[in-house]
A and B are shown apart, each in its own frame.
Chain A
């Protein structure tokens, strides 16, 4: 156990290194991309400094960027400083001249300020957490509940009609991206095109949900929530449905052919015990390790599904921020995404160490 603890400590130490490398690259790209708004803002800023831009504010340049936006970009990216210094300021390890020479940056929890939302970036992002987690978590649990039994059953019925039929469903699920499934479901069950207008076309809850809740209409509220959850939930499940089912099936098949299964039979154990205790325990290992990868989806949501179903979560926030060129929020979301992925990788390692006694990290 000792070796493992130090392994994870070392792993955790790598997170900041990785984090810094990636965010620096992205920061640099943001600043250097030719024709990018920041580059344009920088050019304008230099012009302004040289006294060429003239007095009037308002629209300037071809990008439709207002003076105000330009100023906020200039402040956020420290455009008057070279890239490495600007990055250090963003990170919070260099005095921020725009904030009275104090240290303030990501490291101190300051992700900047979003003009679009009139709120600090961090607050904006965190406010979207619950919705994204709600769908991510429910979707993930639901796909476990469906995929694991289905995968087991398919393995035990390998090459039967049941297997072939479900395989077609699984592969169809694999070939239809989640958001496309959401579109189809919305078309079929969300509109009156086919006379089955059963579910709302999007949103997290009805607009009057909070009012109804306060009035004590809990039953109505729950029904409304379930109604709104149905289509996105299926779309979320589609994302992992096929891969997880097939992984479960193949993993169990491989294990059923393993030597230790024969040993277990040779001991006289009944088939049920050999399959569901000995083989299943081993074949669940790769499934469990997937948890780490799912955490990213759990928090970050999916742009595609959230856009399609107009769910006001992290994904939609990222999408609208991109449309509105709300760069502080964009960089904030990107940062969050990276941290979650890195933590997800470590979580996968931890889970692997927990479920597989052979794994000892040195």
Chain B
């Protein structure tokens, strides 16, 4: 118990340090490497200072980003697979492997076979069982007895047969072969379990589970009642289970990571395209402007949620496909107007005209002079965009046209909540609280950013 608390504290402290100091430092470093100045202009510095002075927004920002950074390491915190498992001198780090396997485009796979850890069979180790045996080595003797019975039975039925003559029928030969194999297998299992008994008994097996040893896809089979289970403290199922018997707490935390990552990706890619298009419109003007504005207007007239639902019904999108769909159908649109306006305004200013007149290339003018000014609409937009995209994902999942079934998602929890509104209120309450708290924090950030960039004053005349 004590080490779990220490672990929890450590997670938050490390997460906070990473978010507050290490990551910003790295971003600045990388930015310098790429040739950016990475020093705020006086105006930006003042805005940043103003943002910092708005406590609720600033702390929401620190809080959400810390949680998100921590959630990047969720496999090491909430996972069925243990941090370290050791059996008879063989040590493995399944959680870490699992974490590495989730890094996109890397293609690491992780798998620990049962056989290697004193459990008969070739599938993934049953870590919960492993832990139970570690805690109570006596459990294995019952297993051993069962295995012995099985072996005896297999032996008896095998011994009944005689070695078939070479001219015996194919059927007889085959029966002999299978019984023999069965016998050998059960013998090996028994021997394995005997070894296991020795290893467990001698205390040469141990396991270090994660903070909350359940994965997004694992079922709470340890609970006595049938799912959905209401939250219980005794059985360490703090937020209950879904209708499928999965742990709601696990769904919630993994859902947080997916939601935020999804929204960030959609916003980042969408705004990148939006700035590009809007910048082009504003900078070049003329028919490019008119034509592309018409396209933007046409595109914006597509009812995007419905269209995504229809497409999702056809192609069953995964995470990345859904990101692309939302970017293409929605997130690049809104920002174009603002960036266009910003470019338009900046371009007509004297310093840009002077740069143009002195033959500076378009690319340089855009990146050095105009683009920094267009960051303002992007930055003030982003938090509200993120709220919208999280809501979109939740809505799609809620309607059943979002991420593939089985993916941890808040929308799916809400859907189950609607289906069980009469008797399982926690299925609504938990995701709603999580959703509202997260989005509220993001809105607070957005409001603080807006206030920092464009403070509204009420100056009263009488």
Contacts and interface: CB of A to CB of B under 8 A. Distances in A.
A171 B443 contact: yes
A293 B301 CA distance: 10
A265 interface: yes
Contacts of A307: 399
Contacts of B439: 174-176
Nearest to B299: A22
A184 B313 contact: no
A250 interface: yes
Given A175-B442, A193-B425, A257-B459, A22 B399 contact: no
A200 to B, nearest CB: 12
Contacts of B297: 18, 345
Interface in B46-73: none
Contact of B398 (A33, A179, A334): A179
A261 B461 contact: yes
A253 B451 CA distance: 13
A26 B304 CA distance: 12
Contact of A187 (B421, B435, B457): B421
A179 B394 CA distance: 11
Q: Is the interface of B mostly helix, strand, loop or mixed?
A: helix
A25 to B, nearest CB: 8
A265 B311 contact: no
Given A175-B387, A322-B309, A180 B432 contact: yes
Contacts of A257: 457-459
B436 A303 contact: no
A30 B457 CA distance: 51
B443 A183 contact: no
B224 interface: no
Interface string A262-276: 100100000100100
Nearest to A191: B422
Nearest to A190: B421
Nearest to B313: A322
A22 B300 CA distance: 10
Nearest to A164: B56
Given A34-B315, A172-B436, A334-B306, A177 B298 contact: no
Contact of B306 (A36, A192, A201, A303): A303
User: Interface residues of A toward B: which range?
Assistant: 35 or more
B69 to A, nearest CB: 21
Contacts of A37: 314
A342 B303 CA distance: 11
A190 B417 CA distance: 13
Contacts of B394: 177, 180
A174 B447 CA distance: 11
B303 A183 contact: no
B414 interface: yes
Interface string A2-23: 0000000000001000100110
B63 to A, nearest CB: 15
B310 interface: yes
Interface in A290-307: 296, 300, 303-304, 307
Contacts of B309: 303, 319, 322
B440 A341 contact: no
A289 to B, nearest CB: 14
Nearest to A186: B421
A143 B440 CA distance: 21
Nearest to A254: B456
B461 A33 contact: no
User: Interface residues of B toward A: which range?
Assistant: 35 or more
A334 B444 CA distance: 35
B462 interface: yes
Given A174-B387, A250-B456, A183 B428 contact: yes
A262 B462 CA distance: 9
Given A304-B399, A334-B306, A22 B301 contact: yes
Contacts of A328: none
Given A22-B298, A172-B436, A186-B421, A33 B458 contact: no
Nearest to B427: A187
B366 interface: no
B395 interface: yes
Contact of A337 (B303, B395, B443): B303
A271 B461 CA distance: 8
Given A175-B387, A265-B462, A303-B399, A33 B421 contact: no
Given A33-B315, A159-B458, A262-B461, A187 B428 contact: yes
A30 B311 CA distance: 8
A18 B444 contact: no
Interface string B386-403: 010001001100110100
Contact of B429 (A187, A201, A337, A345): A187
B399 A35 contact: no
A104 interface: no
Interface in A162-181: 167, 171-172, 174-177, 179-180
A69 to B, nearest CB: 15
Contacts of A342: 301
A177 B456 contact: no
Contacts of A308: 418
B418 A183 contact: yes
A29 interface: yes
A345 B301 CA distance: 9
Given A175-B443, A177-B394, A187-B429, A265 B310 contact: no
Nearest to A37: B314
A47 B133 CA distance: 59
Contacts of A180: 394, 414, 432, 435-436
Contacts of A71: none
A35 B311 CA distance: 11
Interface in A333-355: 333-334, 337-338, 341-342, 345
Interface in B430-462: 432, 435-436, 438-440, 442-444, 447, 456-462
A308 B394 CA distance: 14
B419 to A, nearest CB: 11
A42 B78 CA distance: 47
B462 A271 contact: yes
A325 interface: yes
Contact of A334 (B303, B313, B401, B435): B303
Contacts of B177: none
B462 to A, nearest CB: 6
14 contacts: A18-B297, A22-B298, A26-B307, A158-B456, A172-B440, A176-B432, A177-B394, A271-B461, A271-B462, A304-B398, A318-B306, A337-B306, A338-B302, A345-B297
Given A36-B315, A171-B443, A337-B303, 20 more contacts: A158-B457, A171-B447, A174-B387, A175-B443, A177-B395, A180-B432, A183-B417, A190-B421, A191-B425, A256-B460, A257-B457, A265-B461, A300-B303, A304-B398, A304-B399, A318-B306, A334-B303, A338-B302, A342-B301, A345-B297
